[in-house]
Amino acid sequence: MKKHVKNALGIVLAGCMLFCMLLPAAATAEEYPYHQLSARDMRAVQNAYSESLRYNFEQWVLPDFVFNEGGRFLQGIYEREDRAREYPYAIWNYEVLGTIVGIQMDSEDVYVLPDWQNDETYIDKYVALAQEAGVEAGDHFDTSFETLHEGSVLLLLSFGKADTTLACKYIGIVAKEDGTARYLTAETNDMADETHPEHGTAVFFCEVTPGGRGNMGLIGNEKQDFIDAVNGLLQ
């Protein structure tokens, strides 16, 4: 993880965990190092994936970054910089680590804090804990650059599984030459068995904007189906 990302995470985690020290401990509390979780708290982290973490990342956190903080990020996409491919992983893991710390704060057990000033490994240890829980970014999606017909560049997030309500199979962040962006998704709905007249199993082609979101119909669920839909929209 990049140094600037680690520094930001460190500030947030330190504040959260110092607040945790002020909370009363339960009489029957077990004690754990910060980079381990009780079985109960591990289940809570894993449950958070489907209850809030994934949806929040896909529909709120990542698009908010794109539209409000994305200037350098969008330029990096347009120029196909490796660093731009790393940002979604860092943003997902930021949300995961915040979730873990929140669960530790609310836990009936006690977590021994790291040495914030002298331990340079605690961010990596929290990421390792996320990997143990199966909720680290690399467990769930890959990123790639795709060139679109009209010259824009697409940063494509491809998810291995779309296993929660309205989970994204693909997310496409379109970076245009003028510095503007579009945020497009291919979403499933596990409450309905949607089918496409030509492609069979289908996903919803949607767009998230600063003011809301819209559904533009069904498309096939393959990577090229999504890229073709994005190209068609931008024509």
pLDDT (tens, 9 = 90+) of the chain, 235 residues, equals 555 545 555 555 555 554 444 444 444 678 999 899 999 999 999 999 989 999 999 999 999 999 999 899 999 999 999 999 999 999 999 999 999 999 998 999 999 877 777 777 888 999 999 999 999 999 999 999 999 999 999 999 999 988 777 789 999 999 999 999 999 999 986 555 555 555 556 789 999 999 888 999 989 889 999 999 999 999 8
Q: What's the rounded Cα separation, in Å, for the pair 185 and 59?
A: 9
What is the identity of the amino acid at 159?
A: F
CB neighbour list of residue 114: distance below 8 Å, 6 or more residues apart: 17, 34, 35, 122, 125
What is d(CA 3, CA 8) in angstroms, rounded to the nearest whole number? 9
Comparing CA positions, the residue from 166, 158, 139 lying closest to residue 227 is 158
Alpha carbon 9 to its chain's center = 15
From the list 194, 16, 28, the residue with the least C-alpha distance to 108 is: 28
* CA separation for the pair 200, 55 (Å, rounded): 25
**Partners of residue 186 on adjacent β-strands:** 170, 205
Neighbours of 47 (CB within 10 A): 12
> Structural domain boundaries of the chain?
3-18+26-138, 141-234
pTM: 0.82
Query: Which two three-digit tokens encode residue 67?
Result: 């539209």
